[in-house]
Structure 1
Amino acid sequence: MRVLHIVTGLASGGAERQLHLLIRHLPPHQQCEVLALTNPGTVAAALRADGVTVHHLGMRGNRDLGALPRLVRLVRTGRYDLVHTHLYRAQLYGRLAARLAGVRAVVATEHSLHAGVIEGRPVTRGVKGLYLAAERLGTTTVAVSRQVAQTLHSWGVPPARVELIPNGIDAARYRRPDADRVAARHRVRAELGLPQGSWAVGGIGRLVPGKRFHVLLEALAELDPATRLVLIGEGPERAALERRATELGVRDRLVLTGERDDVPDLLAALDVLAAPSTEETFGLGVLEGLAAGLPVRHSACPALDELPPSAAPQARRVPSEAAAYVTALRELRHLNDHTADPLPHPPAVGHYDIARVAADLGALYDRLARA
């Protein structure tokens, strides 16, 4: 089976990294290629390193209608059995191009959808109308959480057209001998310039307003001077976060790593993961923190909401306010500085293991191809 994944871009965001993971673990008879409409970033390089063919359409913007004929030609020439689209722009253009090229099995994964927000942008009547029109061109929409599925249903997408397949985490990448973990911790802390004896609070995700990383900056200003904040990711809010850190007098205590593909090593250098976002549709970063053996303080994580509290005992919900994070992090530092041993994998990590998730998606592909 030949599968083409069409994605808006391939920078190191949650949806893009999830696509990379899925392709690594899909059944071998499902041969995947990837097409980025724009911005073939670090994830494109990682896919190519794995031997995956990556196409770049060179689209200039949302209204670059001239890109559609090129996309149709590429899909038709590739003779794909199934097209799978990811993220809003790719869903609009990708589903239409797949239909025009004669592909009958067209899947879309909805990675970031709330009742009034899609991928961090307000849902206007026009945005919603285009979304629903494109949805009708597809075969199935995959929701990564029950929250996303419920939003799709409230918008009028028939339940029969929605499949619930959550995101997954490559738990095996975080399981390592103690000596390797300790070596990675020392190496990365030296690389990032974290002083010996410092306590490192981390955040992971695109640097966009919806992640609310400014909450952690404001908390940092109230925490012990030995505390450092490490943000793993890149995005348009970088300059604003740097300015805010300067205003608060904590610029020298903020570390911005940019896009990285060595997330397990970076997490090994941290002492706690904090996630103040209130707009998560899954909460992949929270699960990565748990897989790395970190205590986690978060404001929203639908992936954990769908499991009993015992599935992740080292995770605690905190209001997305600086004062609440100050209290939670002070308490955590007092109880355990985490420098000795990682916490054991909670059941939630096994539940969302990428091998199981990819098997479910592969079964969906086979079922749609037969139909």
Structure 2
Amino acid sequence: MSAKYLISAPSVLRPGTPTSLAVTILTNDPVRVTAELTNGNTSLVQAESTFTGGVTGVLVLPPFPESSVDQRYSFKLHVWGYQRERLVFINTTTLRFNPRTFSTFIQTDKHNYRPGDTVKMRVLSVQPDGKPHKGRVHVSIRDPKGNLIQGWPSLNSYLGVVSKEFHLSQTTPLGIWTIETMVDELTTEEQFIVDYYEPPHFDVQVKTAPEIVMVDDLSGTVTAQHTNGQPVQGTLSVTVTLVSALFNSGRPTIVHNATKDIHGSTQFLISQDDPPVRQHRATDLSNSQHHTNGILYITACVTEMSTGEVPMYDLNLITLLQENFPTMQEIQLCSVFEV
């Protein structure tokens, strides 16, 4: 066994979803790669393909039904590499199994509120392939003591999205409030803070394209102005976070962070050749299908130089598409949440 190789695989398996492996052969000669998923002593699925040396390709294992697995036993991925009939490498790794077939995200228009404010929220449910999940949505709001203050049972979602508003009274209890959602018996929580605080003296806005292809550079404009229209001078921090049902088990993952000066307005560019982005693309390739999308959160934080005022934020959402994404209708669920 002598061939050098690099194979990236998702750490979590989901039923009914294909499993993609990113395969790179680090030799000149082609290698035939065979992969198999097992559950205990049972073979779930297999796939095989030949890969050219020095080129990264994708080997897709077909989906398997949840009824075919026994969670009492471990899940393992086995790979073999052959040059002609000679075995040149072999490897085995243990994977985790997640029976969830969709993920739910709760978004609010901001994190901190004052008594008398209105909380705007949105619940987004997506399947592992990036398409909307259209289950019934139950939403409830609890105060810092856990008391149920407002509830909306059995809401119909539109393209996997439910939007609601909740008004905080002037005598609202201060502290950490909780938004709870239940979609097809899957429970998700998100928290926000109610407290007295000084309202912002300047606004921050982020403008980007509504969607990008995975191989594109990401660019945009950040504008920071006082309420009287004067420009804000200070420091800008731009953070790019990926949320994908197939990447990192659906948890938000920071793929880039950059800091620069700002005087009223400035542009930013995140190149696909930057090391953190390039590393993410190589990893995400093994977790995504050619028709899968994700959501990029672009967070802009501006700290004013003269006053040292607490940083102000703006959040923008971008749909991340594969090159041959079939339609544009399915990305409407990723539109910007209006503040």
Q: Specify the TM-score bucket, using the shorter chain as the normaliser.
A: under 0.3
| TM-score normalized with structure 1 length | 0.26
| Greater strand content | 2
Structure index of larger Rg: 2
| TM-score normalized with structure 2 length | 0.27
| Greater helix content | 1
